[in-house]
Copies of this chain bind each other. A is one copy, B any other.
Amino acid sequence: MERHFETEMQALRNRLLGMGAMVEERMHGAVVALMERNAAAAEAIIAGDQEVNELQIEVDDRCLKLLALQQPMASDLRLITAAMKINADLERIGDQAVNIAENSLKLMNAAPLRPLIDLPRMAEIAEAMTRDSLDAFVRKDAALARSVLARDDEVDQLKDHIFRVLLTYMMADPGTIERALSLILVSRNLERIADHATNIAEDVIFVVLARDVRHGAAVPLE
């Protein structure tokens, strides 16, 4: 029974990692489609969302079965319920990839505004945050999770910078307004991805800290 439980927990971790890899690839693909003005690639991202939704249902189902059948201990309970929350955040990261792809398609209808300012950099950080938050979950690594939280400020600063630059464009030339608005919305999509990665990292810290506190060995907060 114990061995079976461990096998199922490992399968859950692997599924969640697989889902993480899928949404990372999709957000990356959406940003590349934007940069390369590749409409077919953007449309493929939009069409592929169903696969993420199906994986989310499967992961949720695994979690519920583990909760129902195995009478897990407190630390495993925290881990399984965290997995359910992380699963929801990953699915929503997938939704943001769709939003980016949709905004990209709009941008392809007009001449490019300029080399996308800091959007690729912002996308890079949001992607790394997503990847690291999941690695932190699998390795129960609170320090790595905390490094994800720290990067959220950088994303917010880039978002503000992008906003100010695009505002200047729009004021100087109303002909740029529609394109600038689409780019602002993409920056908000990326901000939301970083927010979801932050949620995941917070869940990881809760799982790890609560476990360690229970064992009488509190992890220092800084």
Contact = CB atoms under 8 A, between A and B. Distances in A.
Nearest to A71: B71
A74 B71 CA distance: 12
- Dominant secondary structure of chain A at its interface with chain B: helix
A87 to B, nearest CB: 10
In this complex, which of A64, A188, A199 has the most chain B Cβ atoms within 10 angstroms of its Cβ? A64
A32 interface: no
Q: How many copies does the complex hold?
A: 2
Interface string A49-85: 0000000000000011001100100100110010011
Contacts of A174: 170-171, 174
Contact of A67 (B67, B88, B184): B67
Interface string A168-187: 00110010011001001100
Interface of A: 63-64, 67-68, 71, 74, 77-78, 81, 84-85, 88, 167, 170-171, 174, 177-178, 181, 184-185, 188, 199
Given A84-B84, A88-B88, 12 more contacts: A63-B81, A64-B74, A64-B77, A64-B78, A64-B81, A67-B67, A68-B77, A84-B85, A85-B88, A167-B178, A174-B174, A185-B188
